[in-house]
Amino acid sequence: MKNIRLLLVDDEINFVKTLVKRMEKRGLFPDQAASGEECLAILEKKPMDVVVLDVKMPGMDGIEVLPHIKEKYPKTEVLFLTGHASPQDGVDGIKAGGFDYLTKPIEFEQLITKINQAYDKIRLMEEKEKEAEFRAGMEQQMIAAERLASLGTLAGTDTPKGGF
């Protein structure tokens, strides 16, 4: 869990401070933003694995921020979090590419579990990409080896001087 690059985005400063204190006790040191605009500015400078994003914020809300994150940082997973629970917001967020939707007051262990699940999804996708790259490389090596073997066979073939 210590390797997770996490960004908490919420305009409720006291709520964020409480989450950060509890997360730091677990060895997780999240970055923080108080608005959608600040979230995007941080992402420009520092890649994140998981963004915990409040839905209702002044200015650019979480639903508006998500497409920007998904377009520029497609491997970043986004968890929506809100105190103003609307089932439609949750549906819209997940349809737009959000990982999950949680409501406040949040059970801290549930939040940690969801963050870990989102991070596990990222790691699994990275492993699949590496495996696909490895397989592609091996296929190229096999093709090259077959060509060399064919050339060796052709070079080793003697044609009779008198022909057939």
Judged against a pLDDT cut of 60, whether residue 163 lies above it is answered with: no
What's the 3-state SS for 117-131? Answer: HHHHHHHHHHHHHHH
Q: d(Cα 74, Cα 139) in Å, to the nearest integer? A: 28
- Selected from 3.10.20.310, 3.40.1710.10, 3.40.50.2300, 3.40.50.150, the CATH number assigned to the domain covering 6-126 reads 3.40.50.2300
Q: How far apart are CA 120 and CA 47, in angstroms?
A: 17
Cα–Cα dist 79/122, whole Å: 13
pLDDT, tens digit (0-9, with 9 covering 90-100), for 133-161: 777 778 887 787 777 777 777 666 665 66
Q: pTM for the full model? A: 0.74
| pLDDT for position 32 | 96
Indicate whether 7 pLDDT > 90. yes
Quick check: 19 pLDDT over 60?
A: yes
Domain residue limits, the chain: 6-126
Question: What is the reported pLDDT for 84?
Answer: 72
Strand-pair partners of 6 = 50
User: What pLDDT, on a 0 to 100 scale, did the predictor assign at position 145?
Assistant: 77
Give the Å distances, CA to CA, from 108 to 20, 22, 103, 118, 129.
Answer: 11, 8, 11, 15, 32
